[in-house]
DNA sequence: AGGGTTAGTTCAGAAAGCAGACTTACACAG
DNA sequence: CTGTGTAAGTCTGCTTTCTGAACTAACCCT
């Protein structure tokens, strides 16, 4: 299977990866969530080559994550702004970042990651993100969640 | 910058991508969280080539996401089991999946994703994941969160 | 003896990624 | 009016990675 075909897999994760899962997109999204909007900002912040940034940005625009709009006419200049779809990736990035801080931050490689003190303005305290159930509000941990896994994945071997 | 160098970027997201962010790892993790443990299970479920699966699995073992253990001696056979570090990626995958279901599921392309009815066994209701603050328990939405962004990203231009 | 299973490795050709130069069009300095 | 700078890319030639298919190896069952 080729990477360009993964959008044919009927699975939410595969679909998501097809849209935002290529190698540099997450870093572009990270920078967008921090406020970057211009081509060169993305290029500098990610360190990816210009061709890659151009390619990924247009891919993300195609998938409705960014909106490309001209903010200057005469030398045509564009900015990339996150759509709602794009802004809604913030929780994904936050959980990823939290995982990384928890598990990779104290790596023995001697590169202490700078923890980006996450603060909840509602209560004005530093916090860690906790996933809860939209129905009862209690934490939704892996062992308290079941899935109706699509049939085609269970038919052959029910683990 | 080459992709193989992104682990030098002092940012949790970049570190995470270095560990699990290449193109097929997420799909491998998805399958592992569904119970897959064997090489061929990963190969079949992801559809990636055998070389890629071998490469990614050993990469993930290196990064402490999987543990490789021999479960049969005579023809040496191995299984890959998620470590705690690996299992802790479940929330990340869940948020990603949730995003995908919300934003890509009803794509006009006519491929209705099968929603994998997420159920909270504690309250026995279907639910959607909500990120809350570990301190006060209230929802932690992007607009109620502030970050102490690392200096090297703000020094040049404070947006 | 022949075929199946599992966990890979190897190979050559194809695709993708890379750095850096180039382009276009304006703005400001001297 | 010539030169330098900025912004948003595109282009080029080289390097790296990915792919599909075959191959290995050691056991099992028939």
Position A13 in a domain = yes
Q: Which of B144, B93, B145, B159 is nearest to A45 (CA)?
A: B159
Q: Reduced to 3 states, what is the DSSP secondary structure of residue A108?
A: coil
Give distance CA B145 / C1' D16 (Å).
40
A25 within domain boundaries: yes
Q: In A, residues 65-84, which contact B (CB 8 Å cutoff)?
A: none
Q: Which domain holds residue B70?
A: 3-87
B61 CA to C14 C1' distance (Å):
29
Within 7 Å: CB of A28 and strand C?
Answer: no
Q: Which residue has the higher pLDDT, B158 or B155?
A: B155
B67 by Cβ neighbours in 10 Å (0-12 / 13-18 / 19+) ranks as middle
Å separating the CA of residue B138 from the C1' of nucleotide D25: 58
Rg (alpha carbons) of chain B, rounded to whole number: 19
Q: Is residue A144 part of a domain?
A: no
Is residue A66 in some structural domain? yes
Predicted local confidence at residue A115, as pLDDT: 58
Domain count, chain B: 1
Percent of chain A with pLDDT over 70: 86
Whether B115 shows a pLDDT value over 90: the answer reads no
**What pLDDT digit, counting tens, does each position of B44-95 carry?**
999 999 999 999 999 999 999 999 999 887 778 899 999 999 999 999 999 9
Kindly report the length of chain B. 159
Q: Is the pLDDT of residue B153 over 60?
A: no
Tell me how close the Cα of B62 comes to any Cα of chain A, in angstroms.
Answer: 12
Distance CA(A19)–CA(B55), nearest Å, equals 23
Question: Within a domain: residue B60?
Answer: yes
Q: Is residue B53 part of a domain?
A: yes
- Token pair, residue B35, equals 């119970």
Q: What is the DSSP letter of B71?
A: E
- Higher pLDDT pick, B155 / B67: B67
B25: domain CATH number is 1.10.10.10
Q: Extract long-range pairs of B30-33: CB within 8 Å, 24+ residues apart.
A: B30/A11, B30/A13, B30/A14, B30/B93, B32/B66, B32/B80, B32/B82, B32/B86, B33/A142, B33/B82, B33/B87, B33/B89, B33/B90, B33/B93
Determine, yes or no, domain membership for B130.
no
Average per-residue pLDDT for chain B: 87
Give the nearest nucleotide to A53, CA to C1'.
D9
- pLDDT tens digits for range A55-71: 999 999 999 999 999 98
DSSP code string of A92-106:
HHHHHHHHHHHHTTT
pLDDT below 50 — which residues of chain A?
A: 108, 153-159
Residue of B nearest to A5 (CA): B47
Residue B139 lies in a domain: no
């Amino acid at each position: 299977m080729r990477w360009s075909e993964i959008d044919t897999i009927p699975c939410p994760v595969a679909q998501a990866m097809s849209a935002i899962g290529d190698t540099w997109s997450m870093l572009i999204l990270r920078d967008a969530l921090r406020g970057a909007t211009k081509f060169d900002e993305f290029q500098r912040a990610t360190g990816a080559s210009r061709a890659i940034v151009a390619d990924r940005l247009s891919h993300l625009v195609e998938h409705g994550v960014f909106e490309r709009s001209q903010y200057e006419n005469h030398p045509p200049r564009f900015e990339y702004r996150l759509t709602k779809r794009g802004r809604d990736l913030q929780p994904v990035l936050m959980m990823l970042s939290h995982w990384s801080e928890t598990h990779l931050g104290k790596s023995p490689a001697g590169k202490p990651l700078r923890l980006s003190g996450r603060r909840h303005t509602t209560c004005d305290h530093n916090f860690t993100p906790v996933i809860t159930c939209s129905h009862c509000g209690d934490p939704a941990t892996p062992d308290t969640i079941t899935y109706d896994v699509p049939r085609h994945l269970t038919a052959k071997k029910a683990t």
